[in-house]
Structure 1
């Protein structure tokens, strides 16, 4: 929580003003019972209507001032909480955006989403409550006790005797409550993950008639969250009835002792009435502090989760290294990598590409093809070996400089709810000519020109109003539009027919001949004319060479080519 409170520093002047106004309003609330007591015991018995009217007007003035100051202070508190949370959410989003893929894998996307939404909401609630009630309640509590001491010290001592029991209660409940809320937020992460999986796979779920199964799975996760929330809420809810019990026992004792003292002439009825009013104020203040305590317990767990992300160390730091003279644009030298740091996902991979050359990568699903792309773009660091671009290790290139070299179509890439033009431009400020050239090469102009709005056609989220082939062509156009140094196509033609795939490859050779291209494919026809072809199996290199060379030297490649294209067929 310490890191979260740092965000309040720019708002200290405004908070100080708001707290001062809140203090004035609280003092006005405390004055009302005292004025009432004075009127009953001193003013009313005198029968002077002028004094009665004067003190009555004083009560009205105090009430109005308390009302106005509290509203003003609450508005200022809401403003501070809103802008503080906005800043926290902005920095948290920026930090999440800068996390390495390894860190995202560690935290999990559902957890990051929950921290950005639920956890920041909990912090927002706490910040507002601390300013609205966190100042008012202690003032009313302490002020009420001090004023009652001036009215009748004996009755005040009866009330104060209940406070140690309340203190023990708050300490005991908080010791159990905070860990429960931490565990609850972890369960919320799991529920978000389940919802994401269900929504993402809704078509498959319906196609396989697994709606009931998914409903039961979600019900189990939801029940787990509900149980943890009930357990935490029940634990924290103990404070309200027990505090009411202690305070009402104290109130009963005050009334009994007060009655004896009035009967003995040791105090006056007005003081007893005022004392009961102050007791109500003190009771409400204690209940308010209980709400603060519950909110703080919940937000404390959320604040720690937010701080964990904000304080996460910078991963994949730039490592200074000298540039080597090299005739190659892209180099892999004995690269080995493992996601879990136990079993190697790719092992001892080496290849070199000159500028403008094309590398095709083929192999079974899960053999490490996409992993090589992740390493080339330094989304992960290799465990051993060397990866270089123009003789410079990728670890020595700043992230922004490195990634601007690439145009990428990932295996499961995304389109956004925006126009076709904006999806291709992707905020890069490209010219209309660049966008049209890329769309033409990607064979996307064929269907874009047939749309009434053309490039202004609005896509739905994830491009669900396009076919699979249309989406892939738009994604290829996006990758080409910035004229990158290195083009990466990760299984980006799987939804294209052979004719369109061939036209795409022809367009790349003619329009973007100077770009170094890496093509991951399941079809031999997509990489048939590549300058180099890398055959992978379980993360290891089985063959490397041209199509003709691999037909002669690599049995696995020859089997794939024969099964897809027929024996002896070249195109």
Structure 2
């Protein structure tokens, strides 16, 4: 940033020098008309005319250089702002992300930073030059014609009042406008990610109507804000032009009465025009600052969001268990618990299977273990240590979520995912995840390029690559959230065998819809409405838990292990 500060100082200096040379032009012209021309000395006219040309060239080339620097500074500043905003978004807890929403983060990273980029560029181009022209013009006009300057100064309180009134009304309107942009981005993301479902169900027109509704709302809000902010320009034009007419009338009388000279009046009118243009430029800058102010507040909300996942003081308890939940309860909306009084204890290398209907709290248990959310009651421990006191907690896990993401990159890089792993480890993980066979079918193997979200793979292939990513670092705890739903029974069985043999020291938690995926687990939890209705091993649950027995009978015709 030091280099940008030097650029800023140089840019300001060039702008100020160029602006002062602009202010000298009317003064030199007045001197030529009133003092040099009566002397009838052509060489002096040419000399001072050359001085005017020199001032014009200094202003021209200075403005070009300063504007280039303004573009570089706004570019560098916006880059740093986007970096800080993205870093702030990555620090957010899941609860904070739920509050901000992903579409809003996208809008803040794009349209809000773009608004500020344009404002910085405009302020550096006009925001320095314009006040100098305005104040300098007033001072020079006062030196030339103090009486006529009073007419000019009489218009300024009216203009200032106009700017304050419009600003107080405009900034809140731009805040609401950006909130509507959030909803527009959300509508677009939902429609594009769900395009296959939309096409399959012939709901294109429905989605068009839904998009048009939010698009229309955005148009109306933008129109209302634009109309309000555009009021300033014509009103200021009227006020200043009325003042200019009065200046011309008063100046003509003063020249006729011998109280002034034509050159002074001409220079004064030039200064008045400079002041008029400066006020109009200030209006333009003011409109952009109003919009950028709303965008800056939105960016600041993310960047300055408090760190919710703070590290607590270590809280260790001697235990034979690797992963423990003790009477854990949690609610997303703090109205009704999504999981209640969940308790289980796993020794190192054991496997827990979790099964239950949709919405029963299976994934919530995993998110609490990962500390995406803090439990409202109860305690979660890993190795006897309470998880809110464990530094680098996430490094203990290998995770595959229900709707996980593959990136537009090679298979190898998707498996390694920025960790200090090599190609051999990535290939081994792929073999263990039963992905080796289809990877070998690609001409470039691990170097095969995936499309966005892995759209050039089948559902089963994507799940196996995601499992490979989770296994690559030989995690202490493996979490599989419905990660085998797209696998055939043979592949699922082979994967379970690898987990039991090659990763025998890894504690595993599996959320599944299929009994076959968890029937060999060391412990099984059956959930309904966030509560445990059954706990034990497969054979015990067939006898003691009606819900589990019903699922097993529907899926396996009795569910006994062969």
> Counterpart of 1:114?
107
Q: Is residue 552–residue 559 contact of structure 2 (8 Å, CA) maintained in 1? A: no
Shift of 1:499: 1.0
> Counterpart of 2:255?
262
Shift of 1:156: 1.5
Shift of 1:131: 2.2
> 2-side partners of 1:159 and 1:318: how far apart?
62
> 2-side partners of 1:213 and 1:300: how far apart?
36
Please give the per-residue CA displacement for 1:55-88, whole angstroms capped at 9, x wherever unaligned: 0110010000111222222222222222222222
> 2-side partners of 1:249 and 1:281: how far apart?
15
Q: Does 1:551 align with 2:542?
A: yes
Shift of 1:9: 8.7
Question: CA 1:320–1:568 in structure 2 vs 1: closer, same or farther (change >3 Å)?
Answer: closer
> Counterpart of 1:397?
390
> Counterpart of 1:4?
none
> 2-side partners of 1:30 and 1:129: how far apart?
21
> 1-side partners of 2:536 and 2:511: how far apart?
15
> Counterpart of 2:473?
482
> 2-side partners of 1:181 and 1:9: how far apart?
33
Matches within 5 A, 1:49-448: 49-398=42-391, 401-448=392-439
Q: Is residue 434–residue 491 contact of structure 2 (8 Å, CA) maintained in 1? A: yes
Please give the per-residue CA displacement for 1:400-420, whole angstroms capped at 9, x wherever unaligned: x21111000000000000000
Shift of 1:303: 1.0
2:521 maps to which of 518, 527, 530: 530
> 1-side partners of 2:146 and 2:308: how far apart?
63
Shift of 1:295: 1.0
Please give the per-residue CA displacement for 1:105-128, whole angstroms capped at 9, x wherever unaligned: 111111111112211222222222
> 1-side partners of 2:135 and 2:74: how far apart?
26
Out of 450-459 and 149-158, give the one that drifted further: 149-158
Out of 179-188 and 429-438, give the one that drifted further: 429-438
> 2-side partners of 1:440 and 1:139: how far apart?
70
1:466 maps to which of 423, 444, 457: 457
Please give the per-residue CA displacement for 1:192-233, whole angstroms capped at 9, x wherever unaligned: 111111111111111111110110111010111111111111
> Counterpart of 1:518?
509
**3-state secondary structure, aligned to 2:355:** strand
Out of 84-93 and 352-361, give the one that drifted further: 84-93
**3-state secondary structure, aligned to 2:408:** coil
Shift of 1:570: 2.3
> 2-side partners of 1:19 and 1:185: how far apart?
31
| Count of matched residue positions in the alignment of Structure 1 and Structure 2 | 562
Matches within 5 A, 1:6-21: 11-21=4-14
> 2-side partners of 1:567 and 1:181: how far apart?
62
Please give the per-residue CA displacement for 1:311-335, whole angstroms capped at 9, x wherever unaligned: 2111021111332221111001111
Structure 1 residues not aligned, in runs of 5+:
1-7
> 1-side partners of 2:479 and 2:315: how far apart?
26
Query: CA RMSD, aligned part only?
Result: 1.4
Shift of 1:432: 2.3
Shift of 1:130: 2.1
Shift of 1:15: 2.4
Please give the per-residue CA displacement for 1:498-548, whole angstroms capped at 9, x wherever unaligned: 111111111212221211111110000011111111100010001011000
Out of 442-451 and 264-273, give the one that drifted further: 264-273
> Counterpart of 1:32?
25
Please give the per-residue CA displacement for 1:107-157, whole angstroms capped at 9, x wherever unaligned: 111111111221122222222222221111111111111111122222221
Shift of 1:39: 1.2
> 2-side partners of 1:156 and 1:383: how far apart?
69
> 2-side partners of 1:140 and 1:253: how far apart?
21
Please give the per-residue CA displacement for 1:151-199, whole angstroms capped at 9, x wherever unaligned: 2222221222211111111111111111111111111111111111111
Q: Is residue 314–residue 390 contact of structure 2 (8 Å, CA) maintained in 1? A: no
Shift of 1:293: 0.7
Please give the per-residue CA displacement for 1:476-504, whole angstroms capped at 9, x wherever unaligned: 01100110011111101111111111111
So what's the TM-score if we normalise by structure 1? 0.96
**3-state secondary structure, aligned to 2:301:** helix
> 2-side partners of 1:298 and 1:100: how far apart?
28
> Counterpart of 1:5?
none
